[in-house]
Amino acid sequence: MASTTRTAHPREKRVIFKNIDRPGWTNDIGCYLQDGGYEDLKKAIAMNPQDIVTEVKTSALRGRGGAGFLCGVKWGFIKPGGSKPVYLICNADESEPGTFKDRYIIHQDPHQLLEGMIISCFAVNARLAYIYIRGEFPEGAKILERALAEAREHGFLGKNILGSGFDLEIYVFRGAGAYICGEETGLIESMEGKRPYPRIKPPYFPAVLGLYLCPTIVNNVETLCNVKYIVRMGGAEYAKVGTRVLCVSGDVQRPCYCEFEVGGITMGELIYDICGGLKPGRTLKAVIPGGSSAKVMSAKDRYKIKTKQPDGTIRENEMGLEDVPIDFETLAAAGSMAGSGGVIVMDDTRDMVWALNNINEFYAHESCGQCTPCREGSLWMKKITARMLHGGGVPEDSDTLKRVADNIAGRTICAFGEACAWPTQSFLDKFPEEFVATAKRMGNGNGSTNH
């Protein structure tokens, strides 16, 4: 955890992370209330729940967990007046390598999350909600338990919240340590006491068939926090000024978390202005912009990005990686994704085969094993890159790696298939010569290996 506090960079616009590392700030409810906490809940609870849903739709808030799905559309799948109870689950299973934002919200500002959650539950008429927190966050679970007790004492939870007639209970559910539990249907299976095997689609959304076969909304921690500000400023205003938390790690002088207006900063500004630049004498080689499963972007490439001009016209700009603004559409247009906001920076000293093997190890370890392509393919890819690194490379390795990845992506039950295939596909696409060189340099030609 953050042992030293750090102040926000002047270029940042801290909204969700306003209270993170704030001098004098504590995570108890008294501090939160003094700062105007739960005022947005009071405003929301006087509103028509459907109007809140409409505001969230207008805000174009995108999910902060990785997929970037429109939150309002997801909520819209809940049909008012259904006969089954609606559940809301906060996905706090933050596990994507390179991503470390939700834990700070939970540790330092838990009431912000609870307020956002209570408003969201009111909007979708959920009377029972859960925070699914990953098993590796025991401290976070304790903090949330205490925050929930405080909220209950103050009448923000329980029966007849703030005299509105709305009842809500929120419970903390601790996971047992599996990346796949962050996949919303795997998460639900896990809560039902089963192996966290993601469910087959269709139905595509738990809002149709979720926890205990009831309509269920699963939202990321940061996403739920944003709802509070949408209620405060209105969906239309939020759409203009909404922010995004980024987590920067890797080869920068000052790895950090920071918050900017969506699209309000370029990759270069983030690396050089906010994170103190690269280590002396190094040059930028690549960036994984949205958590380890996002496709890697090469500093050598030119990106053709269409941007909307102030006069409303669309203009196509060709730019280098450092000039690419960090927002959902631009990163998608550049062939990668904003994902979970985990920006991993790599300088020219990085061996890309080593880097890919590091990622492959993670996904091979975390594949749940339910469906064939991911189960067998993720381990295969890891074994190939590990063999290459240990001197057993053969000329066919690049081709085999690519074809294995191609046979996974798009053919699995859940998005883990893409998550584990995209790194391999993109590393091979962007840095093919390094794979060929590794196979040649270290290979003994027969491919045999004993590890």
Partner 1 sequence: MSAPSELLNVQIDGIWHQFQKGTRVIEACAQAGKFVPHYCYHPKLSSPGNCRMCLIEIGMPKLGPDRKPETGTDGKPLINWIPRPQISCAQDISEGMGIRTESPMVKECRNGVMEFLLINHPLDCPICDQAGECQLQEYSVEFGTAGSRFLEEKVKKPKRVEIGPRVTLDDERCILCSRCIRFMKEVAHDDVLGFVSRGSHTYLTAHPDRLLDSNYSLNTVDICPVGALTSSDFRFKMRVWFLKETKSICTSCATGCNTIIGTRQNQVFRQTPRENDAVNSAWMCDYGRLNYHYVNSTDRLQTPQIREGQELVNTTWNSALVKAGEELKQFSKDGIAVVASAKMTNEELWLTKNLTELVGTSHCDIIPRSGAADDILMSADRNPNTLGAQLIGLTGEKPGLRLKDIAEGVRSGTIKAVLALGEDLTQIGLQADELKKLASLIVLDILPTETTRSATVLLPSSAFCEKRGSMINIKGRLQRLHRATQPPGAARDDWEIVRDLIQKLTGSNGIYLIEDVFKQMTDSIPDMNGLSLSRIGDKGVQLVEETEEAPAAI
**Residue 4 interacting with partner 1 (CB under 8 A):** no
**Candidate list 22, 232, 375, 436; residue touching partner 1; CB under 8 A:** 375
**Candidate list 258, 271, 384, 389; residue touching partner 1; CB under 8 A:** 384
**Residue 366 interacting with partner 1 (CB under 8 A):** yes
**Candidate list 58, 307, 358, 449; residue touching partner 1; CB under 8 A:** 449
* Binding flags for partner 1, 151-190, as an x/- string (CB under 8 A): ---------------------------x------------
- Helices marked H in 125-183 — which ranges? 138-153
Name 288's bridge partners.
344
Query: Contact region for partner 1 (CB under 8 A) — 17-25, 226-234, 239-247, 396-404?
Result: 396-404
**How many other CB atoms are there within 10 angstroms of residue 223's CB atom?**
25
Least separation in angstroms between residue 380's CB and partner 1 is 6
For 349-385, letters b (16+ CB in 10 Å) and e give ebebbebbbbbbbbbbebbbebbebbbebbbbbbbbb
Least separation in angstroms between residue 213's CB and partner 1 is 14
42 or 383, CB closer to partner 1? 383
**Residue 396 interacting with partner 1 (CB under 8 A):** yes
Name 297's bridge partners.
287
**Candidate list 302, 365, 440, 441; residue touching partner 1; CB under 8 A:** 365
Cβ neighbourhood burial of 437 (10 Å; 0-12, 13-18, 19+) = middle
Give the separation between CA 396 and CA 392, rounded to whole angstroms: 12
Give the separation between CA 158 and CA 113, rounded to whole angstroms: 17
Least separation in angstroms between residue 371's CB and partner 1 is 5
Q: Taking each helix axis from N to C terminus, what angle separates 49-59 and 110-124, rounded to the nearest 10 degrees?
A: 110
**Residue 410 interacting with partner 1 (CB under 8 A):** yes
**How many other CB atoms are there within 10 angstroms of residue 386's CB atom?**
17
**Residue 233 interacting with partner 1 (CB under 8 A):** no
**Candidate list 372, 391, 395, 445; residue touching partner 1; CB under 8 A:** 372
**Residue 379 interacting with partner 1 (CB under 8 A):** yes
**Candidate list 54, 407, 429, 442; residue touching partner 1; CB under 8 A:** 407
Collect all residues with Cβ–Cβ distance below 8 Å to 30 and sequence separation of at least 6: none
Give the separation between CA 23 and CA 403, rounded to whole angstroms: 52
Q: Which residues bind partner 1 (CB under 8 A)?
A: 178, 195, 197, 200, 202, 364-373, 375-380, 383-384, 387, 392, 394, 396, 400, 403, 406-407, 410-413, 447-450
